[in-house]
A and B are shown apart, each in its own frame.
Chain A
Amino acid sequence: MGAQLRVYKRRIRSVTATKKITKAMEMIAASRIVKAQRQVAASTPYATELTRAVTAVATGSTTKHPLTTGTDAPARAAVLLITSDRGLAGGYSSNAIKAAERLTDRLRGEGKEVVTYVIGRKGVAYYGFRERKIEDSWTGFTDSPTYADAKRAAAPLIEAVTKETAEGGVDELHIVFTEFVSMMTQNPVDNRMLPLSLDAAKEEAGKGEILPLFDFEPSAEDVLDALLPRYVESRIYNALLQAAASEHAARRRAMKSATDNAGELIKSLSRLANAARQAEITQEISEIVGGASALADATAGSDK
């Protein structure tokens, strides 16, 4: 076998192996999207009921709570960014990071100091490489988050919100994650979790329904005190689940195009290999023919 042909054969073999791997990853991601979507659906009743309850307390009582009413001049804002632990998911993590950067710039432009919290190894690596300060980070659960993970991430955030700004607390809480719209569309979004914007919460809870006057047990403040941490946790949990579904969808798409590309590459490489083989054969034939005719010429000359 000629050198050229051998090189093509070797490349075809290696691309075929890569294609098998990307195909397998595509199928794994596809099966996980369904599971992740189911989890999002399962967590929705809790989230909607909780939002309803929060809206009810916040609108039905005249209590002023640090978590529902913003300060006049917010000085510090916390941003929670959700990225993935693993790569090979196309632009998934970098899109989320870009959205966080935009939000950070905007908040800085409004004269607020930004404190960053990161979930997922990719985000941590991004900030670590640029030597930017991360207040806290969590890794290792982005592809199948549990409620306990959300709780763990929410705890320091809630603590920061309840603390006075002068003592290192924050006035606002933003979350950046990738919203799962459909199998083909996932958008990085930034939401302000706290202070609550009641209009948005109302919209989420019920389409223009009038909330009844509640009787609070033990009191409106106590209920709100207990509700808001749960609200933050459930919002983070929901964001984590959506981000996980988006991550799998992004990975599936990236792996699908990688598989397609590998297929294309194999096709063009085999064409080249075929041409090289044909060229080799042609050359061999012409060598044989040339040799034979030279031999014939030589014997014809000696006969005479």
Chain B
Amino acid sequence: MAAELHVELVAADRSVWSGEATLVVARTTSGDIGVMPGHQPLLGVLESGPVTIRTSDGGTVVAAVHGGFISFADDKLSMLAEIAELADEIDVQRAERALERAKSDTDAASERRAEVRLRAVAVR
């Protein structure tokens, strides 16, 4: 059996995704990081961006994560974010509309949020 790590992706008000995975790629403040089973214990600050989880059954889960933390120890990885959504849950049209609106209002925060959502959908 290939080595696996257990992933918990939790948002402030709900648990978004949990399951077994072979690789998790996320963006920390000092660059992209890939975590595989057996990685040394790690605690990092996440940037807003898409997170890719390669599940142990060969599938891929992509989620948009807006800030937060990644912590890994004993083959258990948890990602905490105030807002996190799976790419499947993202409404592309709504995100595009939000992006346009944010651009016209020059609202940097929501523009960034909308961009991250669209990027996550594009990765999928």
What is A's interface to B at a CB cutoff of 8 Å? 39, 42-43, 45-46, 49-50, 52-53, 56-57, 146-147, 151, 211-218, 222-223, 226-227, 230, 233-234, 237
Tell me the minimal C-beta distance from A72 to chain B in angstroms. Answer: 29
| Interface residues contributed by chain B, number (CB under 8 Å) | 26
A53 touches which one: B11, B13, B33, B71 (CB < 8 A)? B71
Taking beta carbons and an 8 Å cutoff, which residues of B are in contact with A?
8, 10-15, 28-30, 33, 40-45, 68-71, 73-74, 78, 80, 82
Q: Do A218 and B71 touch (CB < 8 A)? A: no
Closest Cβ–Cβ distance, residue A304 to chain B (whole Å) = 101
Q: A53 vs B80: C-alpha distance in the bound complex, in angstroms?
A: 10
A-B contact pairs, 12 of them (CB 8 A): A43-B13, A45-B10, A46-B12, A46-B80, A49-B80, A50-B69, A216-B44, A217-B42, A217-B70, A223-B43, A230-B80, A233-B82
Which B-chain residue is minimally distant from A211 (CB atoms)? B73
Q: Could you say which residues of chain B place their CB within 8 Å of the CB of A215?
A: 40-43
Q: Choose one: A46, A213, A223; the contact of B13 (CB below 8 Å).
A: A46
Contacts of B30 in A (CB 8 A): 217-218
In angstroms, Cα B106 to Cα A226, docked, is: 25
Bound-state Cα–Cα, A216 to B106, Å: 34
How many Å from the CB of A185 to the closest CB on chain B? 25
- In whole angstroms, how far apart are the Cα atoms of A216 and B82 in the complex? 20
Closest Cβ of chain B to A5, distance in Å, is 58
Nearest residue, chain B, Cβ from A220? B43
> Is B29 in contact with A56, judged by CB distance below 8 angstroms?
no
Find B44's partner among A146, A213, A223 (CB 8 Å cutoff).
Answer: A223
User: Given contacts A147-B82, A226-B69, are A46 and B11 in contact (CB under 8 A)?
Assistant: yes
Out of B8, B12, B28, B42, which one reaches A234, CB within 8 Å? B12
B41 contacts across to A, CB distance below 8 A: 212-215
Nearest Cβ in chain B — how far from A85, in angstroms?
Answer: 21
Contact of A43 with B12 at beta-carbon distance under 8 Å, contacts A217-B30, A218-B29, A223-B69 already known: yes
